[in-house]
Structure 1
Amino acid sequence: MNEENYDLIVVGSGAAGIIAAIIAAREGKKVLLLEKLSKIASKLKATGGGRCNLTNTLSNEDFMARFGRDGRFMQDALNEFDYKKLINFLEEIGIETHAPDGFRVFPTSHSSATIISGLKEEMQRQGITIKCNQKVTRLLATGNHIDGVKTEAETFLSPNIIIATGGLGYPVLGAEGDGYNLASEVGHKITDLSPAMMPLKTKETWVKNCRADTIAKVELRVDIKKHKKLRAIGDLIFTNSGIRGPVVLDFAREVTPLLKKYGEVPLLLNLTKGKNEEQIREHFKKESTKENITTVLELLKTLLPEALSLELCHLAKIEPDTKYKKVEGKKRDKLISLLAWTPLTVTGHDGFKMAMITRGGVSLKEINPKTMQSKIIDGLYFCGEVMNLDGPCGGYNLQWSFASGYLAGKLL
């Protein structure tokens, strides 16, 4: 059997694995990068629809806060490699970036191919050995020390292994949960895994009639007593079977675990840019004095697109062409209540095949945040999405992958 020795073996060629390999090689390590697909960086290529939103310009404190209660785990990694240092690193290897909206950072080409090409060239410069079509099937360990990995065809030896295999999202790009299996086999706990950052399906079918428009600044809330604090604000799009858009992609990471628990998740949507019932009444009072606005539909269209306005009329059991001033009190109250908080019931999703990220992973309690090294097996490291830490849209997850990969590669 063929056996080769390395200072470091990186399993997985996403953002986390590639940067870990580069940083370790820069430190003089002999590095092997293993990828089970025929090409490296398949998921990175698809990031952001191929535009590759690399990171964002939030301070480290604000950045960590967006990951919730476990966000503090990232502090050491971000101190070593925040968005400014990522931008500098990319510039060093010939990749220019910019933030056209002052927040989200992209390659100036707006193409992930630029990022992948630059990273490939840097790996070549650093003498990193890359082997594709190599699926790691087992970690080799003696006691609590790592020895190497076994693939379907070969054995590779090293006192340091970095698992950077990502999550379960986009299985067509190779995501099969390999890293979870490898980690659990050597004693690591894997938390519950849920698909995240994806569209959601609803019980209500009226949504299919409202597909043409993006509704800005929608607030979503979970309408379950124990989970009232879960909420998000952003742009929403109705689909043939439910809802999508940036706010839904972000909020899906909160909703999918609840779907497992409850079977369905009731939501409340504020579609009126934060207006409450009293403010909606005042708005209607003011607008209804105008000569060209007399019917309920005309009045609703001052707040919402026509298709959505029509559906809300139907829900309130009001004929759209009824004069607003002639609508009976109860129906008017119902309409205003629906405008302030429109109920929707999430009943499902398309699973991991449509999920951009995975919620859950290797337990953070078993990983040293100062090094990304396992607390169970010496020489075993983790970085990126394989760990139980995920963030919203907007460059959060990619920045975390780069930062954790940098820390693991530097300090092993």
Structure 2
Amino acid sequence: MEDIYDLIVVGAGPAGILASISAAKDKKRVLLLEKMPQIALKLKATGGGKCNLTNTLSQDEFCEKFGKSGRFIKDSLEEFSRDDLIEFFASIGVETIARDGFRIFPINHSSTIILEALTKELERLGVSIKTSIKIGSIQKIDEVFIINTPSQKFKSRNLVLATGGLGYPTLGATGDGYIFAKELGHKVTQTHPAMMPLFTKEKNFASCKADTIAKAILKVNISKYKNLKLVGDLIFTKEGLRGPVILDFAREITPILANYDEVPLLINFIKGKNEEEIYKHLKDEIVKNPTNTILENLETLLAPSVAIEILKLCEIEQNLRFKQIEGIKREKLVKTLAWTPFTIVGHDGFKQAMITRGGVSLKEIDSKTMQSKIVSGLYFCGEIVDIDGPCGGYNLQWSFSSGFLAGKSK
């Protein structure tokens, strides 16, 4: 008798693993295929090895963070919610904690324990796992999926593509899943690297890299994108900018950068104070400390290193007092403090991208099952589809939830 699996899952990341577990719990015969020598290498590296699994937001708030895609993910979250995820990990021996009240991690902040627990659960459920598998092509003939490799063929009645995106190619991301999806008749939207540092034309702020700017406000200074705005912690680098707010904003910037040589940004480093508030603050400081220099005045608003660079930008000597600065430069200083200009000129591509923006078109996937609307028995989950969220456990929760739903629905 020909050996045909109930389900083959291609890609052993978080989505593929949960799809396999979900199907196996339903007594289905499952084969999990992975091109790398080990499963879940990218999961192991997530969050610097700490593995931010999910977060404490309500389901509605969680979905809102995905923008237009938020409506699509609701069915997956209803099937396998944050609480379900926490309960699942507890059932396989992994306790979780949210020390900051928001981000949920394994209690020992180690992705290794997550990987070990998932591996044991796959084994307990009898999921067959084959690693170092190079798939050449995938066909569907007479209601059976045929996975062709250089050495053998695998057959299944159902197929889950959970191959992830293009980020971190050293951990196995090569975009094979997009090729398979296209060969099976699906449209793949344009892909861009996301969740990554950005390079700026301005290099002078590299001297500020020891300082983290809390609650910086960023906005794109292009009229067409004037509504793109984000608040969060920012860090300076030798090449430009990083930090949580940059990692999140990169998913908006990289598609724009694909169409423009440069993307001008305006950044407020002082928690949103406007020009009027800044001017009043400086006047009050002068009253309190009339002999202080402008640098000493600015240090009540900014980290000293940032204050020095802004003064240089405005061509103002740091040992002058505010009243000694000529009017036009004083005006420029206040404007620059309110919105400091930066110019995004590039990034490291998918090499440093934690996630991918773009993927298999959502229009061709049934959100209630994650099944293809084009090919019966074909399912998608995780990063391969055209969904990406910000930092903070959003993308992992989506991968786990969509994987669970895809495996359950087959």
TM range (shorter): over 0.9
Judge conservation of contact 1:3–1:156 (CA < 8 Å) in 2. Answer: no
**Could you tell me which amino acid in structure 2 is paired with residue 248 of structure 1?**
I
Equivalent residue, structure 1, for 2:75: 76
Distance 1:51 1:129 in 2: 27
Amino acid of the residue matched to residue 250 of structure 2? A
CA deviation string 1:257-300 (max 9, x = no partner): 00001111000001111101111111111112223862111011
Instruction: Output the CA distance in 1 between the equivalents of 2:309 and 2:175.
Output: 42
Question: Could you tell me the percent identity over the aligned residues?
Answer: 58
Do the aligned partners of 1:207 and 1:241 also contact (CA within 8 Å) in 2? no
Given residue 170 of structure 2, which amino acid in structure 1 is its aligned partner?
A: V
Residue of structure 2 equivalent to 1:164: 162
Structure 2 unaligned residues grouped into runs of 5+: none
Aligned to 2:122: 123
Aligned to 1:189: 187
Tell me the secondary structure at the aligned position of residue 366 of structure 2.
coil
Greater displacement, 360-369 / 291-300 = 291-300
One-letter identity of the residue aligned with 1:373: Q
Partner of 2:37: 38
Q: For residues 155-304 of structure 1, what are the structure 2 equivalents within 5 Å?
A: 155-291=153-289, 294-304=292-302
Map of 1:150 onto structure 2: 148
Q: Paired residue for 1:340?
A: 338
Alignment-mate amino acid for residue 320 of structure 2: T
State the secondary structure of the residue aligned to 1:234: strand
2:4/2:157 contact within 8 Å kept: no
Q: Relative to structure 1, is the Cα distance of residues 266 and 22 closer, same or farther in structure 2, using a 3 angstrom cutoff?
A: same
TM-score, length basis structure 2: 0.98
Q: Among 361, 364, 369, which residue is 2:362 paired with?
A: 364
Deviation at 1:135, TM superposition (A): 1.9
Give secondary structure in 2 for the equivalent of 1:389: coil
Contact 1:167 1:386 in 2 (8 A): yes
Q: Is the 8 A contact 2:178 2:360 kept in 1?
A: yes
SS in 2 for 1:330: helix
CA contact (8 A) 1:146 1:161 kept: no
CA separation of 1:297/1:78 partners in 2, compared to 1, >3 Å: closer, same or farther? same
CA contact (8 A) 2:139 2:184 kept: no
Query: Per-residue deviation at 1:142?
Result: 2.7
Deviations 1:24-80 (A, max 9, x none): 000000000000111111000000000000000111111111011121100110011
State the match for 2:134 in structure 1.
135
1:52-91 correspondence runs (5 A) = 52-91=51-90
Query: Displacement, 1:335?
Result: 0.4
- Kept in 2, the 8 Å contact 1:20–1:408? The answer is yes
Letter paired with 1:361:
G
* Residue 15 of structure 1: aligned partner: 14
C-alpha spacing 1:375/1:146, structure 2 compared with 1 (3 Å)? farther
Residues of 1 paired with 2:16 and 2:144: CA distance?
18
Whichever residue aligns with residue 99 of structure 1, its letter is: A
Please report how far the alpha carbon of residue 137 of structure 1 lies from its aligned counterpart in structure 2 after TM superposition.
2.0
Letter in 2 for 1:127: G
Displacement after TM superposition at 1:152 (Å): 2.7
Q: 2: distance between equivalents of 1:5 and 1:154?
A: 13
Distance apart, 1:216 and its partner CA: 0.5
Unaligned runs of 5+ residues in structure 1 are: none
- RMSD (CA atoms): 1.2
The count of residues paired between Structure 1 and Structure 2 equals: 410
Question: Separation in 2 of the partners of 1:95 and 1:135?
Answer: 32
Q: How far apart are residue 245 of structure 1 and its match?
A: 0.3
**Paired letter, 1:234:** G
Does the CA-based 8 Å contact 1:149-1:155 persist in structure 2? yes
AA of the residue aligned to 1:163: L
Cα distance in 2 between the residues matched to 1:146 and 1:82:
32
Measure the CA separation in 2 of the matches of 1:14 and 1:187: 24
- Matched residue, 1:109: 108
Bigger mean CA offset, 360-369 vs 279-288: 279-288
Local SS of the residue matching 1:16: helix
Q: Whole-Å Cα distance in 2 between the matches of residues 110 and 293 of structure 1?
A: 50
What displacement does 1:4 show?
3.6
SS in 2 for 1:299: helix
Question: What is the CA–CA distance in structure 2 between the aligned matches of 1:146 and 1:295, rounded to whole Å?
Answer: 77
What is the CA-CA distance between 1:207 and the residue it aligns to?
Answer: 1.9
Deviation per residue, 1:127-146 (Å, 9 max, x gap): 00000011222112137x45
In the alignment, the residues of structure 1 paired with residue 62 and residue 144 of structure 2 have an alpha-carbon distance, to the nearest angstrom, of 33
Aligned partners of 1:97 and 1:251: how far apart in 2?
Answer: 28
What is the alpha-carbon distance in structure 2 between the residues aligned to residue 101 and residue 205 of structure 1? Answer: 33
